[in-house]
Structure 1
C-alpha cells in the first residue's frame, strides 16, 4: 500500500521482547529513492538513544494501533553502533550498521536498485562482489566518501524548481510499504498555485543541489499546474497513478 512518510512518524517500534521506541524520521538512498532506515528514538529504558532500523526487519505494520513490529531484541538495539543521525550517513557508517545486524549490503542493484542513472541525479555505484573487497573497504578511511543516505526531515522544505521557475516546497513523501520505495514527493505550492498540492515522481528530477536545498524537475510550471489534481484525503489509487504518468509522459 502507498502511504505518506509523515503518517508513519511517532509509530511505536515493538521488538520481540518489548517496546523499543518511536519513529522520528527516515533515511532514503538518493541513488535509488528507497527508504533504507527508520530513525528510532528509544524510550527511557535506554536513555533516549537514537538508532537506525532497516525496514527489512519489519514483521507487521499495524495502522490502527500505530505499531511497527520488528524482529529485534532490546539487547541488540542497546549494543548497536552509535550513529550521528543529525548528519547524512556515509557508506562507511552504513557498513558498521549492516555488519552489526548481519544485514546484507546492497548498493545500486540487488534488493531494490537497478543499474543506470540514480533517481536524484547520481550514477549508481557497483555492488560489492566479494567478501574480500568488503573487508578491504572497511579498512580504508573513506575520507572522500559522499554521503548518499538522506534524511526525509532534511529534504522536507527543499524548494522545487520547474524548468521556468519555482513551484513550491517538499512537504511529504509517498512510499510503498512493501518495497519501501519513494514513489512521489508531495509539493506544497503555496502562493504559486493558490496552495494547491501536487505530487512529483523522483523519475522527473533533473538535478538536486544539496547545499542549496533545491530540487529541479524537467517539467514546466504550467505543466505541473495542469497535472491531475492530488487529493491528500484519499489514498493514491493505481488509476490515479496511471493518469499521472500518462500525463507527464505524453
Structure 2
C-alpha cells in the first residue's frame, strides 16, 4: 500500500499494554530510501518526550483509525535510551536502541533494511549491535535524514532555477521504502508545478544548500493525476 508521509503524521502508536504517542516525523536512509525510524511524541505520560520506533516493531496498521500497533511494551518505551531527535542520531545511539528493543541489525534479512556501511556485516540478528565494528560510534550516520529536514528543499532538473520544492514523500508500507517524492509549486522555473518523481532518479542531495537534484529526463516525471489513484 502506498501512503504519503504527510498522511502518517499524527497517527497513533500503541504498545501491547497502552498507547505510546503520535508520529511527528520520520527518519530515512537517503541512499537506500528505506524508512528507519518513526519519531513518536509520547505526550503527557512521558512529559512529551520523543522516542524513535523502528518499522520492524510495527504490526498491521488500522488505516481508517490512524493507528499502528507495535510489538513492544510501555515499560520498554519508558526505559528506552534517550535520543535527541532534534539533533543527528549517532551510530552509538542507534546501537543502544536496537540492543534495548532486541531489534535486528541493519542489513539483516527479513528486516527490510539494507546495510549502509554504518554497521559491518551483521548477519546474525541475535548478535548485539555493540559487538559490531564502528569506525566512529559517536558520529552521526551521514545518510540518516528526517522528513521534516528535506521537506521544502529546492528541486532542480536543469538550469539555475528550481522547478519546485519537496512537498511530500510516498512510502510503500509493505517494505517501508520511499518510492517517490511529490514536487510542489515553489520554484521559479518554467516547469514549476505539481507532480511526482521516483526516488530512483535522485542524483544528489545537498544538505548545505537545501537542494535536491534529479535526472533531467522528462519521461521520468509523473503527474499528480497519474499517480494519485494508487495512493491510499
Q: TM-score range by the shorter chain?
A: 0.7 to 0.9
Correspondent of 2:176 among 177, 180, 188? 180
Q: TM-score, normalised by structure 2?
A: 0.85
Residue 215 (1) aligns with residue 212 (2)? yes
Higher mean alpha-carbon deviation, 123-132 vs 40-49, is at: 123-132
Task: Please give the root-mean-square deviation of Cα atoms over the aligned residues, in Å.
Answer: 2.9
Structure 2 CA distance for partners of 1:124 and 1:198, relative to 1, 3 Å: farther
Q: What is the DSSP-based 3-state SS (H/G/I as helix, E as strand, rest coil) of the residue aligned with 1:96?
A: helix
Q: What is the DSSP-based 3-state SS (H/G/I as helix, E as strand, rest coil) of the residue aligned with 1:82?
A: coil
Higher mean alpha-carbon deviation, 60-69 vs 101-110, is at: 101-110
Give the conservation status (yes or no) of the 8 Å contact 1:161–1:167.
yes
Residue 66 (1) aligns with residue 60 (2)? no
Give the conservation status (yes or no) of the 8 Å contact 1:31–1:124.
no
Give the conservation status (yes or no) of the 8 Å contact 1:208–1:216.
yes
Task: Find the counterpart in structure 2 of residue 241 from structure 1.
Answer: none
Q: What is the DSSP-based 3-state SS (H/G/I as helix, E as strand, rest coil) of the residue aligned with 1:235?
A: helix
Structure 2 CA distance for partners of 1:34 and 1:73, relative to 1, 3 Å: same
Task: Find the counterpart in structure 2 of residue 83 from structure 1.
Answer: 83
Q: TM-score, normalised by structure 1?
A: 0.79
Aligned residues between the structures:
227
Give the conservation status (yes or no) of the 8 Å contact 1:90–1:147.
no
Task: Find the counterpart in structure 2 of residue 245 from structure 1.
Answer: none
Q: What is the DSSP-based 3-state SS (H/G/I as helix, E as strand, rest coil) of the residue aligned with 2:230?
A: coil
Residue 236 (1) aligns with residue 230 (2)? yes
Task: Find the counterpart in structure 2 of residue 168 from structure 1.
Answer: 164
Q: Distance in 1 between matches of 2:101 and 2:129?
A: 19
Higher mean alpha-carbon deviation, 209-218 vs 172-181, is at: 209-218
* Pairs within 5 Å for 1:2-13: 2-13=2-13
Structure 2 CA distance for partners of 1:137 and 1:124, relative to 1, 3 Å: closer
CA deviation after TM superposition for structure 1 residue 57, in Å: 1.2
Q: What is the DSSP-based 3-state SS (H/G/I as helix, E as strand, rest coil) of the residue aligned with 2:89?
A: coil
Q: Distance in 1 between matches of 2:113 and 2:60?
A: 23
Q: Could you list the runs of 5+ residues in structure 2 that have no partner in the other structure?
A: none
Kindly provide the CA deviation profile for residues 86-112 of structure 1, in whole angstroms up to 9, marking residues without a partner as x: 122232221111111111111498743
Correspondent of 1:201 among 194, 198, 201? 198
CA deviation after TM superposition for structure 1 residue 197, in Å: 1.2
Residue 137 (1) aligns with residue 133 (2)? yes
Q: Distance in 2 between matches of 1:15 and 1:234?
A: 32
Kindly provide the CA deviation profile for residues 109-129 of structure 1, in whole angstroms up to 9, marking residues without a partner as x: 8743558xx8xxxx8975335
CA deviation after TM superposition for structure 1 residue 193, in Å: 5.4
Residue 156 (1) aligns with residue 168 (2)? no
